[in-house]
């Protein structure tokens, strides 16, 4: 049974990858992941704000007016204490590379070019096998249009590609006007892989305290559907590897991801719910399913349910909207007397 797949130029022993999480700032956890069967690990994100703090720019901004509005500072996270900080993060890369044999991928979270170029070089020098750029941002300026936003993304990737040799993956939001067009543009700019999709963590309202509070909700398998849809559409139409993240909890989810056209399926919430040894169960279930359905390899199933392989591509388009609604109505009708 051949479970191998390729991603970012690496041959992986299977398609299950541990996505970015604060869990992986521990070398013992990373070792446990490898022992359990995970084929690669994406380290916790280092944030643009942390790099700014390192240069003391954000420190001055946060302190301005603190005498009058001291409570305002409580709205910002203690970024000095989040994970290991910029210097500690580079050391984590070095230690992880020495501790495991699977690819170790650094995660950079931001959108601007000012700090990323130099830090990407430092991450490469520390020994990371690849870099995942997490484009996590909400555009709230009414004067900024989608063309400007997407052009900024492409320019950032182009400059990073010119500055580092290691493979570069781009993790995208699904809040896009034309995801297929942007995917093609990012690949042309130098992205070696596209990771679909980022999960946005939305704040909740405390109506008694009249406050906005952070709220972390783990992913659910239902979230996989959006990822399957877009990977299936992009498969074979963009010159970049495709990865699915968000909603991957079981071997069935990995199988669906491969059939849509992904090269890897990324998991974090399932580890939080089931423990780090969950990877071994997923790989075992994946192997059994392939044996029962007479699949010899992951490659054999990849893209088999993509847009270009579907006998009826309209299933991925607008016409399926009416069919979906009609199927629910028909299923709930009372039987004829």
CATH of the domain at 272: 3.20.20.70
User: Would you say residue 30 has pLDDT above 60?
Assistant: yes
Domain contains 327 = no
Domain contains 253 = yes
Query: 73 Cβ partners below 8 Å, 6+ apart?
Result: 62, 63, 66
Listed range (62-66, 135-139, 175-179) with the worst mean pLDDT: 62-66
CB 50 within 8 A of CB 78: no
- Rounded distance between C-alpha atoms, residue 226 and residue 277, angstroms: 27
- Rounded distance between C-alpha atoms, residue 154 and residue 151, angstroms: 5
User: Would you say residue 149 has pLDDT above 60?
Assistant: yes
What are residue 2's DSSP bridge partners?
297
Domain contains 320 = no
* Angstrom distances, CA of residue 313 to CA of 265, 282, 305: 23, 30, 10
User: Would you say residue 53 has pLDDT above 80?
Assistant: no
Measured between its terminal Cα atoms, the distance across the chain in Å is 53
Reported as a single tens digit per residue, the pLDDT across 254-270 is 999 999 999 999 999 99
- Rounded distance between C-alpha atoms, residue 145 and residue 149, angstroms: 7
What are residue 106's DSSP bridge partners?
131
pLDDT of residue 219: 81
Q: What is the pTM for the complete model shown?
A: 0.84
The encoded tokens of residue 287 equal 């192997």
* Residue labelled with tokens 């169960």: 281
Domain contains 173 = yes
Domain contains 311 = no
Percent of the chain with pLDDT over 70: 78
Report how far Cα 157 is from the mean position of its chain's Cα atoms: 16
DSSP element (H, E) containing 289: helix 278-292
Residue-number span of the structural domain to which 104 is assigned? 5-306
Number of domains comprising the chain: 1
Stretch 283-304: mean pLDDT, rounded?
97
């Amino acid at each position: 049974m051949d479970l191998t797949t390729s991603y970012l130029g690496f041959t992986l022993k299977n398609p299950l990858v541990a996505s970015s999480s604060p869990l992986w700032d521990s070398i013992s956890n990373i070792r446990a992941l490898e022992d359990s069967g995970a084929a690669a690990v994406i380290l916790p994100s280092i944030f643009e704000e942390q790099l700014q703090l390192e240069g003391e720019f954000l420190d001055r901004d946060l302190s301005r007016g603190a005498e009058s509005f001291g409570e305002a500072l409580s709205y910002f996270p203690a970024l000095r204490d989040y994970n290991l900080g910029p210097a500690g993060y580079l050391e984590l890369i070095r230690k992880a590379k020495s501790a495991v044999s699977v690819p170790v991928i650094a995660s950079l979270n931001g959108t601007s070019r000012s700090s990323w170029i130099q830090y990407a070089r430092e991450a490469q020098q520390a020994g990371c096998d690849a870099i995942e750029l997490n484009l996590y941002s909400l555009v709230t300026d009414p004067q900024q249009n989608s063309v400007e936003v997407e052009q900024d993304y492409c320019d950032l990737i182009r400059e990073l590609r010119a500055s580092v040799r290691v493979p570069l993956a781009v993790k995208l939001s699904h809040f896009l006007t034309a995801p297929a067009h942007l995917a093609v543009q990012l690949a042309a700019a130098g992205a070696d892989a596209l990771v679909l999709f980022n999960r946005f963590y939305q704040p909740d309202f405390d109506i008694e305290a009249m406050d906005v509070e952070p709220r972390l909700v783990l992913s659910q398998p239902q979230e996989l559907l959006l990822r399957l849809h877009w990977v299936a559409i992009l498969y074979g139409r963009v010159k970049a590897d495709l990865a699915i993240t968000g909603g991957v909890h079981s071997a069935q989810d990995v199988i669906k991801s491969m059939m849509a056209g992904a090269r890897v399926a990324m998991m974090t919430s399932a580890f939080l719910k089931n423990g780090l040894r969950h990877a071994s169960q997923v790989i075992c279930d994946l192997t059994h399913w392939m044996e029962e359905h007479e699949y010899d390899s992951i490659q054999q199933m990849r893209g088999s349910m993509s847009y270009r392989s579907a006998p009826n591509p309209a299933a991925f388009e607008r016409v399926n909207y009416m069919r979906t609604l009609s199927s629910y109505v028909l299923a709930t009708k009372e039987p004829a007397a």
